[in-house]
Amino acid sequence: MVGIIGYGVYIPRYRIKTEKIAAVWGEDGEKLAKGLGVFEKSVPGPDEDVATISVEAARNAVKRAQIDPINIGAIYVGSESHPYAVKPTGTMVAEAIGCSPHMTCADLEFACKAGTAAIQVCMGLVKSKMIKIGLAIGSDTAQGRPGDALEYSAAAGGVAILVGNKKVIATIEHTSSFTTDTPDFWRREGQTFPSHGARFTGEPAYFRHVGEGARALLKKTNTTVDDYDYFVFHSPNGKFPVAMGRQLGVPKEKLEDSLVVRQIGNTYSGSAMMGLANVLDVAGPGSKIFMVAYGSGAGSDSFVIRVEDEIVERRGEVPTVQDYIERKTYVNYATYAKYRRKLKALG
Amino acid sequence: MAEKGVAQLWRKIKAIYTIQGDHCTTCDTYYFPPRVVCPQCRRKGQLEKYTFKGLGKIHTFAIVRQAPDTFKRQIPYIVAQVELDEGARLTAQIVNCDIEDVHIDMRVRSCFRKITEYGESGIIVYGYKFEPTMKVTGHE
């Protein structure tokens, strides 16, 4: 069956604490961090972007899967911060990891769920035997307007997932999606920062799409919350996935391992996939994972994943999510502003 | 607008993305950047393409405090000569490392980073830099 044959992550080294951002804008940092459920977020270095993050994650995935990259038949990079408006990030990834030119490649965008959309595309190509292995990447260096609520969570990181049907470490048993035209968050062409509908991003957007998506897949698979060991929901902050879990009746402990958002913020296209990677780092063979990714605009992709025995021998091949979370250096707001090019005078 | 330097960069992409050089099978020497002939064996040399593992140690280094405009955002930063495990030596920036922590013989691994940009609308140059190896399994 089609599934994950390897995965790898990358999180930049720099962090800024929520209270440091809050201090600049005259907010109560402690209260804000607790309310949002985001205590610090990752910040990309001045020479890091979606291409560099994607390459690092992809190299980790290839190393874990122990495959020859020339067997990769498709690369899809999902992001809303591709370095070029026109020139695919996937081409740089392919060259840097040593793929054959005889493969297909495209960049995807669907706010925070472009990475899981890439997984679905790869699943289709593998299932139809058009390719042997597909590489799906969700990666972002998320933008937040200075002083906007998003600035507290917009972070950087990436996850690469190799999809294939041989030596599968986690089988993707089912997937389904739920899509509508809901303008909760957007960025117009040429704009540096995104805009959003404030509270509108909650009930009619995130909660409706994640909730409907989850219920539809539970119904389709004739399962209940009790049939799963781990749940992963897209985490724009630490509050939304917990509230979603409560609505669906998910016990707190089944959600806990996916909540990396608390330490690294919202990695946008990498968000749900980062939660999944952290779960895959610890889940025992036979565990069942229920994941729902959400992308503004809006839609959700739901997955039922079963962890296979092979996962055990693939551990220790590459750094884990926790290894990257623990490798950190704090920066102040001035350095963060410099690295994120919020100081325009520097060019 | 046509841009100068695109073809020149494109020719180097393979070498600078993956640290691809040569190995002379006659004298068993590794070279980076790629050579046309083996400088030691000359016509007797047999060169074959070789992708370096990207692991090595710092041979020597300098801290840059006066940088060109495109690197100002990064000062102070480290530039080092890295001796790869295969024997070849190359010059590269060291990232993910504070200037007070860098030292000769520090174990490093290659990483993929943005090197420079040809202005706001020009191409972005990517390539290798090096970082200290993390003390976790699988980072070497």
- Residue A93 sits at φ, ψ, to 5 deg, of -60, -45
Specify the pLDDT at position B137.
67
Instruction: Kindly state whether residue A144 falls inside one of the protein's structural domains.
Output: yes
A149-177 pLDDT tens trace: 899 999 999 999 999 999 999 999 999 99
Catalytic residue among A82, A196, A209, A234: A234
Specify the pLDDT at position B131.
97
Say which CATH number the domain at A286 has: 3.40.47.10
Residue among B120, B126, B138 whose CB faces A316 most closely: B138
Q: What is the mean pLDDT of chain B?
A: 94
Residues A41 and A160 in one domain: yes
Instruction: State what percent of residues in chain A have pLDDT above 90.
Output: 90
Residues A149 and A88 in one domain: yes
Instruction: Kindly state whether residue A347 falls inside one of the protein's structural domains.
Output: no
Residues A141 and A48 in one domain: yes
Q: A52 vs B13: CB contact, 8 Å cut-off?
A: no
Residues A65 and A179 in one domain: no
The minimum CA-CA distance between B130 and chain A, rounded to whole Å, is 12
- B23 pLDDT more than 80: yes
Residues A55 and A182 in one domain: no
In this structure, whether the domain defined by B6-18+53-132 belongs to CATH 2.60.40 is answered with no
CB of B79 closer than 8 Å to CB of B95: no
> Per-residue b/e over A102-123, b at no fewer than 16 CB within 10 Å?
ebebebbbbbbbbbbbbbbbbb
Q: A338 vs B95: CB contact, 8 Å cut-off?
A: no
User: Residue range A310-324: average pLDDT?
Assistant: 95
User: Residue range B10-30: average pLDDT?
Assistant: 97
Residues A91 and A11 in one domain: yes
Q: How many domains does chain A have?
A: 2
Specify the pLDDT at position B123.
94
**Could you tell me the two tokens for A33?**
């961090």
- Give dist(CA A272, CA A287) in Å, integer: 18
Residue A112 is a catalytic residue = yes
Residues A46 and A103 in one domain: yes
Q: A84 vs B51: CB contact, 8 Å cut-off?
A: no
Q: How confident is the model at residue A343 (pLDDT cuts 50, 70, 90)?
A: confident
DSSP codes of every residue in A196-234: E-GGGGIIIIIIHHHHHHHHHHHHHTT--GGG-SEEEE-
Residue among B111, B115, B138 whose CB faces A56 most closely: B111
Q: What is the mean pLDDT of chain A?
A: 96
DSSP codes of every residue in B27-53: TTEEESS--SSBTTTBTT--EEEEE--
| Residues on chain A touching B96 (C-beta within 8 angstroms) | 13, 45, 327
Domain region containing A324: 3-169+312-342
Residue A196 is a catalytic residue = no
Amino acid identity of residue A159, one-letter, is V
| Residues on chain A touching B120 (C-beta within 8 angstroms) | 347
Residues A159 and A184 in one domain: no
- Give dist(CA B23, CA B84) in Å, integer: 13
CB of A75 closer than 8 Å to CB of A99: yes
Residue among B51, B126, B138 whose CB faces A52 most closely: B126
Task: Say which range, A119-123, B4-8, B59-63, has the weakest mean pLDDT.
Answer: B4-8
Which residue of chain A is at minimal alpha-carbon distance from B13?
Answer: A95
- Confidence (pTM): 0.97
A184-223 pLDDT tens trace: 999 999 898 998 888 888 989 999 999 999 999 999 999 9
Residues A163 and A218 in one domain: no
Amino acid identity of residue A113, one-letter, is K
Instruction: State what percent of residues in chain A have pLDDT above 70.
Output: 99
Q: Going edge to edge, which strands form the sheet with A329-330?
A: A40-43, A14-17, A329-330
Specify the pLDDT at position A257.
98
CB of B130 closer than 8 Å to CB of B82: yes
B106-121 pLDDT tens trace: 999 999 999 999 988 9
In the 8-state DSSP scheme, what is residue B87? S
Pairing mode, strands A104-108 and A72-78: parallel
Residue A256 is a catalytic residue = no
Instruction: Kindly state whether residue A30 falls inside one of the protein's structural domains.
Output: yes
| Residues on chain A touching B17 (C-beta within 8 angstroms) | 92, 95-96
Residues A140 and A67 in one domain: yes
- Interface pTM (ipTM) of the complex? 0.95
Q: A52 vs B73: CB contact, 8 Å cut-off?
A: no
Q: How confident is the model at residue B126 (pLDDT cuts 50, 70, 90)?
A: very high
Amino acid identity of residue A97, one-letter, is I
The minimum CA-CA distance between A317 and chain B, rounded to whole Å, is 5
Cross-strand bridge partners of residue A289: A230, A305
Amino acid identity of residue A30, one-letter, is E
Specify the pLDDT at position B63.
98
- B2 pLDDT more than 70: no
Interface test with A, best of B73, B121, B140 (most A CBs within 10 A): B73
Q: B129 vs A45: CB contact, 8 Å cut-off?
A: no
Q: How confident is the model at residue B5 (pLDDT cuts 50, 70, 90)?
A: confident
Residue among A47, A84, A341 whose CB faces B113 most closely: A47
Residues A157 and A186 in one domain: no
**Could you tell me the two tokens for A68?**
């020859």
- Residue A258 sits at φ, ψ, to 5 deg, of -90, -10
Residues A88 and A181 in one domain: no
Q: CA B31 → CA A80, A99, A229, B104, distances in Å? A: 39, 23, 52, 22
Q: Strand, coil or helix: what is B7?
A: helix
Specify the pLDDT at position A204.
93
**Count of positions (residues) in chain A:** 347
